[in-house]
Structure 1
Amino acid sequence: MSSLHSWWLLAGLFTVANCATQPDQQQSNLPYVKIAPGNEDFAFRFYHQIASEEPGKNIFFSPVSISTAFAFLSLGAKSATLSQLLAGLGFNQKGISEGDIHKGFQSLLQSLNRPKAGFELSLGNAIFTNDQFTLLKKFLTDAKNFYQADALPTNFKKPQEAVKQINNYVQKQTHGKIVDVIKDLDSSVLAVLVNYIYFKAQWESPFNRNYTRNSDFFVDAKTKVQVPMMIDHDYYNYYEDKKLSCYVVQVPYKGNVKAFFVLPDQGKLKQVEAALGKDVLLKWEQSLEVGKLALSLPKFSLSTSYDVKKILNKLGVTDVFTDRADLSGITGARNLRVSKTIHKAFLNVRENGTEAAAAAVLQIGDRFGVIPVKFNRPFLFLIVDYLTKAILFMGRVNNPSVEQSQN
């Protein structure tokens, strides 16, 4: 076997969540529907793995960004490497063909990058390649066709210039919110695959800044912190899950994207996390009812960075990171492996998404008959695109006063 060379996978993202409509039934036959269950399965398994390794820490990541990056990579994978990748991403090859998986991501990318009113959402891919690193024509064609990926010539013999080129690209695509996604490149790197996602939205009904007040947030039984708490009295879709001991509140953005905030009862966080999965999410969605809530939600920012290789190893994806890797569909030779994977994420939750949203009318009612739901202890959240059923982002807020999650 010739010398083993390295690929890097990077997934960078940014979201401004400033807290729509049901999906068109005509969309149900589009290819992205076939990959939705697998993507949901991967999202929850990835979350559970992080949660088990980082108790007490904030969590935030984009499942669809990571899934898209590795599905893209699977275009060049063969034999056991391909089977491991697809299984790790939640796809049973007996239930869905490799072709349908790529067509599903093609359809998903086209839909998520659709023109929309009220919010910005873009998801994309790129390959930075050595000038002397020849990619197979089929791989390049499929990369462009299914994953909208551009091949960008990069001189890895000048690593500082390559790092700058890649970081500038990610920074531009994420509107300046993900910077310095990589610090250096080792001498074995021949290509870097980048996936990015950018999301910025307004609440359908913004919070009024004038009502935001500092309030206690109970991190645990012994720790409390002061955080700015946004307050709203309005009608929301909500559900009290008595079996799991939690409240679920759905807060819509303008458009087809909605946020789910899940507030476990005191001491029930681990119980809710253990049950978290696509069946529970479906149950919550189907059980929502309209009620007037006195909703209190903290303003917070999260910044995270994850070694995806470490997590995927725990999910059974191993060969692609070793000398057993078969990525011969990329160059025709078995001399490639993925040496490093990085996923960086940033989240900012505020009263309004844009200046225009600040002028929106806020409905304030009296407190009679209002159900108080105060997110003043650790909670979970998901941001879901309801057209495609894609989980764009998910996470856990253990301490909203801590922006940087050390990983």
Structure 2
Amino acid sequence: MKSALYLCLLLLGLQVQGQQVPEDQSQADYENLPYVKLAPSNADFAFKLYKQISDESGDRNIFFSPLSISTAFAMLTLGARSNTLRELQEGLAFNLTQMKEQEIHKGFQRILQLLNDPHREEQLNMGNALFIDNQVELLPNFLDGVTYFYDAEPVYSNFQNLTQAIREINVYVETKTHGKIVDLVKSLDSDTLMVLINYIFFKGSWETPFSNLSTTDDDFFLDSKNSVQVKMMHQENYFNVHRDEKLSCWVVEIPYKGNVTSFFVLPDKEKMKQVEDALLKETVSNWMRALDKREIYLDLPQFSVSGSYDVKSLFQKMGVTEVFSDQADLPGVARNLPLKVSKAIHKATVNVRENGTEAAAVTIIEFAPMSLTLPPPPHITFNRPFLMMIIDKTTDGLLFLGKIVNPTAKED
């Protein structure tokens, strides 16, 4: 029986308030950078995984980090071989006709560097760690790869004492998520010898905050018959907006201070399924190209939601099965130790409020010529189920992807 490798994939979005070509590079050189070439694959994977989660979620909220999950499994490909490797690469939507394996890892390396840039205005941290049993000897190529490309911290622990190992892992997770994810790992299989962890921590403020004086109690319609009371934030301002008549939805970009932005997608009544079915990177690219800055009345609910996912089950349904079985071919990980992935879990949480973590107030009075011929600004009210995306503009990385069905639900 193979020893177990356990993957913990974490995303924490705290108090969320909320690709340009560098001047010294040509368009061709920029498009040939590994992290730029990797972006379409990561987007394909994100929407493929979303649809798998959506098929199983029913009427529950969805919130997860595609980038967190793809990064963790990309690390694992460094030790995978033959069909196990092929399944992982196909599952992650890597395009090996466009990129060599080395380029893929270089792409993730650069993404990590850019996300963890200490000069970013928003707080955004992403990292990896390997908790390894003292008796396990990682192969040099694998250890060098995960440390060089993914900056993974190897932490040696005693997995013969599972209580101690669980405590060490949970302390690490709690520290890296600033105390927001506590006691994530409840138990480990008795044959677990290694735990791989990826985490993301994001903390941002709206570029233009909502005034808490404008927040009112309002209805959010779960469906045609049921509603819940929410705190609805209000703002009249200029936003990048697009009305997609073909898919019957509004798209509103709400940027954060710094280089991260969010897209909120509001399908018309009974059109959510139509929008979800069309959720592809090409659709989102079309929305982004079609955005037009205009004045709108915007109503957005406060919400705090989280989601926990069995990534092993999701991947198996997407055709990635061998890495979780006794046929797993991971000979490049450890010396004389056949491994398989026994569990893979992912937890994400997000909290949307008026200002985020910054206590700031801004008053802006803009004057513009009056025009009696212009129609009034559209009133876009997110008072029914909607989609949310948070995108890092530096890397084109889809950090968060979710569907808010009930802003008051606190399910895990």
- Quickly name the TM-score band, shorter chain normalised: over 0.9
Instruction: Give CA deviations for 1:234-273 in whole Å, capped at 9, x if unaligned.
Output: 0000000000000000000011111000000001000000
Aligned position for 1:361: 363
Is the Cα contact below 8 Å between 1:117 and 1:254 reproduced in 2?
no
Structure 1, 344-353 or 90-99: larger mean CA deviation: 90-99
* Of 367, 371, 384, the match for 1:377: 384
Partner residue, 2:211 = 208
Give the equivalent residue in structure 2 for 1:235: 238
Unaligned runs of 5+ in 1: none
Q: Distance in 2 between matches of 1:24 and 1:207?
A: 32
**1:388 and 2:386 matched:** no
Which 5+ residue runs of structure 2 have no aligned equivalent? 369-373
| 2:3–2:337 contact (8 Å) kept in structure 1 | no
C-alpha contact (below 8 Å) 2:121/2:259 kept by paired residues: no
Q: What is the alpha-carbon distance in structure 1 between the residues aligned to residue 35 and residue 142 of structure 2?
A: 21
Amino acid aligned to 1:389? D
Q: Deviations over 1:23-60 (max 9, x none)?
A: 64645443201111110000000000011111211000
Superposition pairs of residues 103-182 of structure 1, within 5 angstroms: 103-182=106-185
Q: Is the 8 A contact 1:56 1:398 kept in 2?
A: yes
Aligned residues of 1:23 and 1:256 also touching (Cα < 8 A): no
CA distance in 2, matches of 1:174, 1:23: 32
What amino acid sits opposite 1:320 in the alignment?
V
Secondary structure, aligned partner of 1:285: helix
Partner of 1:18: 17
CA distance in 1, matches of 2:164, 2:21: 44
1:316 Cα deviation from its structure 2 partner: 1.2
User: Percent identity among equivalent residues?
Assistant: 49
Separation (CA, whole Å) in 1 of partners of 2:380 and 2:208: 17
- Per the alignment, residue 371 of structure 2 pairs with none
Secondary structure of the corresponding residue to residue 184 of structure 1: coil
The aligned runs of 1:263-278 (5 Å cut-off) are 263-278=266-281
Is the Cα–Cα contact under 8 Å of residues 327 and 333 in structure 1 kept in the other structure?
no
Q: 1:363 to 1:297 in 2, by over 3 A?
A: farther
SS in 2 for 1:202: coil
- 1:118 is displaced (CA, Å) by 2.8
Name the CA shift for 1:156/1:363 in 2 (closer, same or farther; >3 Å): farther
**Which one of 191, 194, 202 corresponds to residue 188 of structure 1?**
191
Contact kept? 1:5, 1:189, Cα under 8 Å: yes
What's the secondary structure of 1:45's corresponding residue?
helix
Q: How does 1:254-265 map to 2 (within 5 A)?
A: 254-265=257-268
* 1:341 and 2:337 aligned: no
* 1:315 Cα deviation after fit: 1.2
Q: Once the 2 structures are TM-superposed, how far is the Cα of residue 334 of structure 1 from its aligned partner?
A: 6.0
Structure 2 CA distance, aligned partners of 1:246 and 1:8? 40
CA distance in 2, matches of 1:392, 1:135: 30
In structure 2, relative to structure 1, the CA distance for the partners of 1:365 and 1:393 (3 Å cut) is: farther
User: Larger deviation: 46-55 or 22-31?
Assistant: 22-31
Equivalent residue for 1:63, pick from 63, 66, 81: 66
- In 2, the alpha carbon distance for the partners of 1:135 and 1:363 equals 61
Counterparts of 1:223 and 1:364, CA distance in 2: 39
Aligned mates of 1:223, 1:344 — CA distance in 2: 28
Q: CA deviation at 1:359?
A: 2.3
2:412 corresponds to 1:399: no
The reply to whether residue 5 of structure 1 matches residue 3 of structure 2 is yes
Q: Is the contact between residue 233 and residue 295 of structure 1 (CA under 8 Å) also seen in structure 2?
A: yes
Give the secondary-structure state (helix, strand or coil) at the position aligned to 1:18: coil
- On the 8 A contact 1:116/1:255 being kept in 2, the answer is no
**Cα deviations across residues 200-256 of structure 1 (Å, max 9, x unaligned)?**
001000000000001000000111011000100000000000000000000000111
The aligned amino acid for 1:325 is A
Question: Number of aligned pairs?
Answer: 401
Structure 2 counterpart of 1:52, from 55, 60, 69: 55
Contact 1:233 1:363 in 2 (8 A): no
Query: Residues of 2 paired with 1:61 and 1:108: CA distance?
Result: 18
Q: CA RMSD in A?
A: 1.7
Which letter does structure 2 place at the counterpart of 1:308?
V
Alignment partner of 1:317 out of 320, 334, 347: 320
Distance 1:166 1:300 in 2: 29
For the residues of structure 1 that align with 2:366 and 2:221, how far apart are their CA atoms?
Answer: 27
**Cα 1:257–1:42, aligned 2, differ >3 Å: closer, same or farther?**
same
- Aligned partner of 2:396: which letter? K
Q: TM-score, normalised by structure 2?
A: 0.94
Measured against aligned partners, the alpha-carbon deviations of 1:121-151 in whole angstroms (never above 9, x if no partner) come to 0111000000011101111111110000011
1:92 counterpart = 2:95: yes
Opposite residue 217 of structure 2, the aligned amino acid is N
Give the counterpart of 2:303 among 284, 300, 308: 300
Q: CA deviation at 1:403?
A: 1.9
- TM-score scaled by length of structure 1: 0.95
Cα deviation 1:160-184 (Å, max 9, x = unaligned): 1110100110111111111111101
The one-letter amino acid of 1:360's match is V
State the 1:93 CA deviation: 2.2
Q: Which has the larger displacement, 90-99 or 156-165? A: 90-99
CA distance in 1, matches of 2:239, 2:397: 22
